[in-house]
Amino acid sequence: MNIDHRVIALIDMDCFYVQVEQRLQPEFLGKPCGVSQYYTWKGGGLIAVNYEARDFGVKRGMRGEQAKELCPDFHIFHVQEVNGKANLNRYRDASADVFRVLNANFKLVEKASIDEAYIDLTEDVQKLKDKKLQLTINDFSTTHLAGCTTKIEDERIEILNKWLNDCQLDDEKRNYDLLLGAYLIEQIRKKIKDQTGFFCSAGIARNKILAKLCCGFNKPKKQTIFTQSDIDHIFDKTPVQKIQGLGGKAGERVVELFQVEYIGQLRKYSLDMLQTSMGEKDGCWLFNLIRGIETTPVNNRNLYKSISASKNFPGKTCLDTIDKIRTWCHHLAEDVFNRLEKDRAENKRRAKLLTVICTLATNETITRSCPINEYSIDRFANDTLRILKQYNKNSLTSNIFTPVIHHIGISAGKFLDNINTKSIADLFSKQTTKIETIISTENIINCQEEEEEEDDNEEDNNTEENILEKPTLPIQGDFFRKFQKSDEQTKIQLKSENKTTTSSSSITSFFSRYTSNENILNCSPNKIDDHYITCSKCHKSILIWNMPEHEDFHYAHELQIEENKTNSIIKSSKTIKRKNTNQTLDSFINKKSKI
């Protein structure tokens, strides 16, 4: 599979929080509304505004009172408060409703935010091709072409109709894939509406950046196709800040350094110039991006990597006594605890690391972590309080805390799976399709360095079949979960000689980095005996929250044998079909080696 022959969609719920509230109170459908949190101060801050209200100039971030001035009929929904703190569970639950539909219909779905999902439709489109459907304009009632900006419905239909006939008759521009992708997305959007009640918009393109960009071209309740031939003329009018990842300081840097306003203006700069100013990696990314090439994979991930609760205490509301801090530690701990318990029941996993974030009056932000040994509100609260107290300059006997605190957050992460009974074969069998690991790359500039390969494995007695058929190897870390879910993308490397790339990463690079990382951890100042457990395989003392990775290390070691066998296959054939999986070990290792 060529990386720029993918079909990627980005689905984005329209003013999601408002729709969630309107689903509960349908009498507000069609009326200008918004959702705000903390209504006592100037009507709270608006975090979602529907399209009816946007017509009046109401915007996200505005105060509720200000919105009322612009639009007297504006209705404000308020975020639920628990213990005096905004609670977003209602929207998380609604999000789960949407993702249930997506996951039931597609294999490769990435939860990008509470209301956004990337879908890799490449395989779905290939399967659909075999059906040789004759699609008509009626299959695309909400579809727009990125290059067609008309507001007149008849014109949309005329131009889209011509385009769809063209690419069904002669697909020389390779647009037929995108057409089929758009067809699938028309259907899933209908399904989402039918099964959840929510409207959404979508973008369909060859990569995530383009899908994300064009999703915003026609909103709400519409979808947009971005073809490769749209790139130049649209990028010529696309402000740098509109590109995902360039909305902040990085984008400002681009504008300043290159004196450009629109992303397309960067085309006149060489790869070298971009890399000199932006760094090797970012420069490479930009150079490819403005030529329509962007290879970031859609990760198969539906679960949160962390669960957190935080609250600001601005101005006079700051926390200046131990009592106040203790109370809020407890409230935040309770929120995290409740969500962790739900997560544990649903996802059979446990968070192993608690991270406390606080901002002091000195304007410094502090982040400190400690292990989670059991889920308990009091444990979370006490751990948090203990960490915060380290920054109190006042006497231990006083209730006064200096410097005052303006923000506290508690985050739980480093999840460890409990599941330990599934066989490897079971896990692998979830993915049944092939992957082609050799990718044609005429257009792709890749700046990743070659990694040295080592051949230092002795035991070569485990065949791939042996490993795959071992039924009872316990799965404790999340290595296999990632593997099973095809979380990663095959690595591409440019070979300057013949302009072909091979998937050629080595497991050894993962090892070397992991090992050095371990050494650092073993001499870290946080070393407290309680936090260590002894690994049953290597008898090393390992920090409890590093066990998932440590277990990955062992599994990776065991599978290195398989890796070596695979490498020889890759080198000797153009494509490789792997039994019962569409992932190579490379793909996993690539991610790991970045840690």
The nearer residue to DNA, 72 or 248, going by C-beta atoms, is 248
The nearer residue to DNA, 282 or 562, going by C-beta atoms, is 282
CA pair distance 499, 445, nearest whole angstrom: 10
**By CB neighbour count within 10 A (0-12 exposed, 13-18 middle, 19+ buried), where does 387 fall?**
buried
The nearer residue to DNA, 126 or 296, going by C-beta atoms, is 296
The nearer residue to DNA, 171 or 346, going by C-beta atoms, is 346
Closest distance between DNA and the C-beta of residue 137, in Å?
29
- 314 is a site residue for DNA (CB under 7 A): yes
- 295 is a site residue for DNA (CB under 7 A): no
Give the binding-site size for DNA (rule: CB under 7 A). Answer: 73
Tokens of 372: 């989670």
Site for DNA in 412-471 (CB under 7 A): 413-414
Tokens of 409: 């957050």
Per CB under 7 A, the list member of 23, 31, 78, 92 interacting with DNA is: 92
Site string for DNA, 48-87 (x = CB under 7 A): x-----------xx-----------------------xxx
- 311 is a site residue for DNA (CB under 7 A): yes
- 586 is a site residue for DNA (CB under 7 A): no
For the CA atoms of the chain, what is the radius of gyration? 26
Closest distance between DNA and the C-beta of residue 570, in Å?
25
Closest distance between DNA and the C-beta of residue 569, in Å?
29
φ/ψ (deg, to 5) at 498: -115, 5
- 330 is a site residue for DNA (CB under 7 A): no
- 310 is a site residue for DNA (CB under 7 A): yes
The nearer residue to DNA, 335 or 552, going by C-beta atoms, is 335
The nearer residue to DNA, 298 or 322, going by C-beta atoms, is 298
Residues 6+ apart with CB under 8 A from 531: 370, 371, 543, 544, 545
- 312 is a site residue for DNA (CB under 7 A): yes
Closest distance between DNA and the C-beta of residue 292, in Å?
19
Closest distance between DNA and the C-beta of residue 555, in Å?
20
Closest distance between DNA and the C-beta of residue 178, in Å?
21
Task: Compute the C-alpha angle 60/85/312, nearest 5°.
Answer: 70
Judged by CB under 7 A, the stretch of 113-121, 166-174, 177-185, 463-471 that binds DNA is 113-121
The nearer residue to DNA, 268 or 594, going by C-beta atoms, is 594
What is the dihedral angle through the alpha carbons of 555, 561, 567, 570, rounded to the nearest 10 degrees?
-80
- 217 is a site residue for DNA (CB under 7 A): no
Per CB under 7 A, the list member of 306, 362, 463, 573 interacting with DNA is: 306
Neighbours of 98 (CB within 10 A): 22
Site string for DNA, 386-415 (x = CB under 7 A): ---------------------x-x-x-xx-
Return the half-sphere exposure (C-beta side, CA atoms, 13 A cut-off) of residue 590: 21
Per CB under 7 A, the list member of 317, 362, 432, 573 interacting with DNA is: 317
φ/ψ (deg, to 5) at 85: -130, 140
CA pair distance 291, 281, nearest whole angstrom: 16
Site for DNA in 525-564 (CB under 7 A): 526, 543, 545-546
Site string for DNA, 470-509 (x = CB under 7 A): ----------------------------------------
Closest distance between DNA and the C-beta of residue 145, in Å?
21
Nearest Cα to Cα of residue 556 among 582, 519, 593, 581: 593
DSSP state of 524: -
21, 52, 110, 116: which is the annotated catalytic residue? Answer: 116
Please state, in angstroms and as integers, the Cα–Cα distance from residue 78 to each residue in 45, 335, 388, 428, 545, following that order: 10, 18, 31, 45, 38
- 208 is a site residue for DNA (CB under 7 A): no
For the question of residue 558 being annotated catalytic, the response is: no
Per CB under 7 A, the list member of 113, 161, 376, 399 interacting with DNA is: 113
The nearer residue to DNA, 18 or 128, going by C-beta atoms, is 18
The nearer residue to DNA, 28 or 38, going by C-beta atoms, is 38
**By CB neighbour count within 10 A (0-12 exposed, 13-18 middle, 19+ buried), where does 367 fall?**
exposed
Closest distance between DNA and the C-beta of residue 400, in Å?
19
Per CB under 7 A, the list member of 214, 353, 542, 559 interacting with DNA is: 353
Q: Are 501 and 494 in contact (CB under 8 A)?
A: yes
- 369 is a site residue for DNA (CB under 7 A): yes
- 223 is a site residue for DNA (CB under 7 A): no
Residues 6+ apart with CB under 8 A from 97: 195, 196, 198
Per CB under 7 A, the list member of 6, 189, 212, 578 interacting with DNA is: 212
DSSP string, 53-105: HHTTT--TT-BHHHHHHH-TT-EEEE--EETTEE--HHHHHHHHHHHHHHHHH
The nearer residue to DNA, 528 or 538, going by C-beta atoms, is 528
Task: Compute the C-alpha angle 453/457/459, nearest 5°.
Answer: 155
User: Strand locations in 418-510, DSSP E?
Assistant: 439-440, 500-501
Site string for DNA, 225-264 (x = CB under 7 A): ------------------xxxxxxxxx-------------
Closest distance between DNA and the C-beta of residue 113, in Å?
4
3-state secondary structure 221-277: CCEEECCHHHHHHHHCCCEHHHCCCCCCHHHHHHHHHHCCCEHHHHHHCCHHHHHHH
Q: Are 358 and 408 in contact (CB under 8 A)?
A: yes
DSSP string, 487-507: -S------BTTTTEE-----H
CA pair distance 219, 199, nearest whole angstrom: 10
- 593 is a site residue for DNA (CB under 7 A): no
Catalytic residues: 116
